[in-house]
Structure 1
Amino acid sequence: MKLLKGLSCLFLLIFLTGCWDRRELGDVSIVTGMAVDKGETFKYKLTIETTEAREMSYQTAAGLAPSTVSSLEGNNIGELTSKFNIMNATHPVYSHTRVLVISEEIVEDGLLEFMDFFDRNREIRDDFAIVVARGSDAGDILKVNNMYKKSPSLKLFTQLNTMQKEWGGAPDIRLNDYTRIYISYGQAPVLPAIKLVGDPKKGGNIENLKSEDPESEIDLHSMAVLKLGKLAGYASMNEVRDMLFVQNKIKSTEITSNCTKGKFGYSITNSKTKVTAKELNGIPHFYIKIKTEGTLDGTECVQDFKNPYAFEGLEESINKKMETEIKEFFHKTKEEFNADVFGLGELLREQDYKHFKKYKDTWDDGYAKAQIHITFNSEIKRSGLRKDRYIMK
């Protein structure tokens, strides 16, 4: 009887197989980037970048445009994504989107209701990067090609990842991160901010791919801080790194500090942060201990590095510099943004929920009076390949 049932199930599987939603490769175009601006006639202007697979490969490239950029205006982003066949011959596939660019104007006016569409849509993945375009239309960002990555979206996605891993100048924010932080009670969302340098009209020319000095390029510029769905202000690249130190997200970076005779570089190879959160006498306190290890990376100092205690003065200089720098950014987030970009409220919720309950809907008040205690501990493990300074005089 069991054998009969098993054979029946296998037989039924024959009728359940199929490709009802199959599309031929020649009938689709892969969307790698999207951009949202304010429309001239309607609420939004949506721009998409679709890539040409043959031009993306050096073996099959014929020197034509590696991607195509199209724009439509409307009042609903979801409707616009399904209307691009007005101008395109193939069906756009959004599952490979790597970057969403939002114009500064959209963020300033708080017109971010369309983010619900991206979070809800089953076709679009939740692991693409979100950036804010400063001083230019978001759609123009998708028109600036580059020799390294022919697709502007793919180049920008790689650029963000590399910057975050190697120096810590860009927050690692994907759609799922943005959604989680936006609905949290104890953290304000942030987004990387980029800037178009040069002539945007020349950014899409094939010559821009071939030039050693491109006439147009996209630079990582700063970090946008959002408060209640609107732009609260911008943080510098160094301040982005300060935030990532507190969040224990620094993988590697380089710090320049002072000594008695000049400056020196400290290359961090390992960083670990521990935050203890608790409320004392009605005041939230956060004890932040940052411990780093690294190597000496270029110096103008005259210490004898053969001396086992030679690094102590340098380490003290690094510690004072970073403690001051991080405290100044904390002050800025309180005075200018009134927003907890570090996520300290979430840590208080996890570690001291009994006292956090009263701040559940008013964490801004708790953050405004919070006391921050920073301890930065640097340890120079090695002086590199050389003990003595290159020039001793």
Structure 2
Amino acid sequence: MKWFKFIVYLGLLFLLTGCWDRTELSNVSIVTGMAVDKGESFKYRLTIETTEAREMSYQTAVGLAPSTVSSIEGNNIGELTQKFNIINATRPIYSHTRVLVLSEEIVREGLLEFMDFFDRNREIRGDFAIVIARGSNAGDILKVNNMYKKSPSLKLFTQVNTMQKDWGGAPDVNLNDYTRITNSYGQAPVLPAVKLVGDPKKGGNTENMKSIDPESEIVIDSMGVIKLGKLAGYTSLYEVRDMLFVQNKIKTTEITSSCNNGKGKIGYYITNSKTNVIAKEINGTPNFHIKIKTEGNLDGTECYQNLSNPYAYKEFEESINKKMEKEIKEFVQRTKEELNADVFGLGEFLREQDYKHFKKYKDTWDDGYAKAKIHVSFNAEIKRAGLRKNRYILK
């Protein structure tokens, strides 16, 4: 029995010999961001940002650049990712990519065939954010460093996610989402759009991180709507939030509405939001009933109502409901007439709830969406008035 155990343990030793494909950290570069522009001599210009681990930590940083940005041109993105040793001394590792930036020109002309490479590649994970660089080269977005995270890619990834969670002004779209929506029959893909404010050359200077008023920074500007693989147009940040309300993706946000007399504003901070969409075709016309129910707190008021009176809150709620219903309906109409794209994914609701009638729209949902009747109801409930019960403004 002892010899049997000895032979088993000896055999297990061969399974604990280490990683056969290990790579030393000193021989690789960690890529945190990628950007694609149109090339001057070739079809594409690929830019990557690689980070310097020692400069990313405040304990080991010595004041050098926290990351390096490199660019090369070619006709195939897959080949370009393997050719960066033309510039770099170490092998790029793409598994930690956080952001993919696409130039407005690339998206507008529909040169997005390379997205198939990202979807198929085993090394690249599908959880990175995709954004459009509006009004500038995509590569320049990766050159604007900042105090937070130090790396432009890591900062932008966090910025997009935080904007979506805290206010709802940016769609949280990663590669997996983009691929799924692109291949769906009842929804048009969207991507957040960012703008470079200031001088991109100064943005790459380490002094930009040390200034309380940076000379260059990246801001979330809008949302791009993709139709048939090309950019169809942009929406405002408020319209992005309207879309997220319909999609039941609002975590928290702040709505500003007017007092009943039109003088002054009230703030409504939403702490909970729930959306229910009922989809059904009636007499040959797709019908959608979108019911949005929210709960939140009174977050400041300039109105003169007596807050000890419960009817005052009802008036506030009616003002908020009227404003949001009007806003969402106007955006729905714009998506029909100007963009001709179902960014809400209502076609997917119809497919799930009434597939019998959706089948005829399988390849022509744009026609079904154009004639669809969409009803919106918004229900706001103010649960708390904050720390102050009485009015701050007395009159």
TM-score by length of 2: 0.97
**Aligned twin of 2:332:** 330
Amino acid corresponding to residue 348 of structure 1 in structure 2:
L
**Aligned twin of 1:26:** 26
Give the match's secondary structure for 2:49: strand
Q: Is 1:367 matched with 2:336?
A: no
Q: Is 1:317 matched with 2:319?
A: yes
Amino acid corresponding to residue 389 of structure 2 in structure 1:
K
2:304 pairs with 302, 305, 308, which one?
Answer: 302
**Aligned twin of 2:286:** 284
**Aligned twin of 2:86:** 86
**Aligned twin of 2:43:** 43
**Aligned twin of 1:166:** 166
Of stretches 308-317 and 168-177 in structure 1, the one that deviates more from structure 2 is 308-317
Deviation at 1:5, TM superposition (A): 12
**Aligned twin of 2:391:** 389
> 1: CA distance between counterparts of 2:369 and 2:181?
16
Amino acid corresponding to residue 220 of structure 1 in structure 2:
I
**Residue 68 to residue 355, structure 1, CA distance change in 2 (3 Å):** same
**Aligned twin of 1:126:** 126
**Aligned twin of 1:273:** 275
Deviation at 1:274, TM superposition (A): 0.3
**Aligned twin of 1:340:** 342
Deviation at 1:307, TM superposition (A): 1.0
Q: Deviations over 1:306-330 (max 9, x none)?
A: 1122101110000000000000000
Q: Deviations over 1:40-95 (max 9, x none)?
A: 00000000000000000111110000000000000000000011011111111100
Q: Deviations over 1:88-111 (max 9, x none)?
A: 111111000000000000000000
1:132-143 equivalences under 5 Å are: 132-143=132-143
Deviation at 1:241, TM superposition (A): 0.1
Amino acid corresponding to residue 192 of structure 2 in structure 1:
P
> 2: CA distance between counterparts of 1:145 and 1:46?
19
> 1: CA distance between counterparts of 2:21 and 2:104?
38
Q: Deviations over 1:245-288 (max 9, x none)?
A: 00000000000000123111000000000000000000000000
Give the match's secondary structure for 1:316: helix
> 2: CA distance between counterparts of 1:7 and 1:322?
73
Deviation at 1:18, TM superposition (A): 4.0
Q: Is 1:197 matched with 2:208?
A: no
**Aligned twin of 1:227:** 227
**Aligned twin of 2:108:** 108
Query: Please, which runs of 5 or more residues in structure 1 have no aligned partner?
Result: none
> 2: CA distance between counterparts of 1:272 and 1:262?
28
Kindly report the root-mean-square deviation, in angstroms, between the aligned alpha carbons of the 2 structures: 1.6
**Residue 224 to residue 7, structure 1, CA distance change in 2 (3 Å):** farther
Give the match's secondary structure for 2:187: coil
> 2: CA distance between counterparts of 1:235 and 1:5?
69
TM-score by length of 1: 0.97
**Aligned twin of 1:247:** 247
Residue identity (%): 80
Query: Please, which runs of 5 or more residues in structure 2 have no aligned partner?
Result: none
2:380 pairs with 371, 378, 381, which one?
Answer: 378
Amino acid corresponding to residue 157 of structure 1 in structure 2:
F
Give the match's secondary structure for 1:310: helix
**Aligned twin of 2:60:** 60
> 2: CA distance between counterparts of 1:312 and 1:7?
79
Deviation at 1:149, TM superposition (A): 1.9
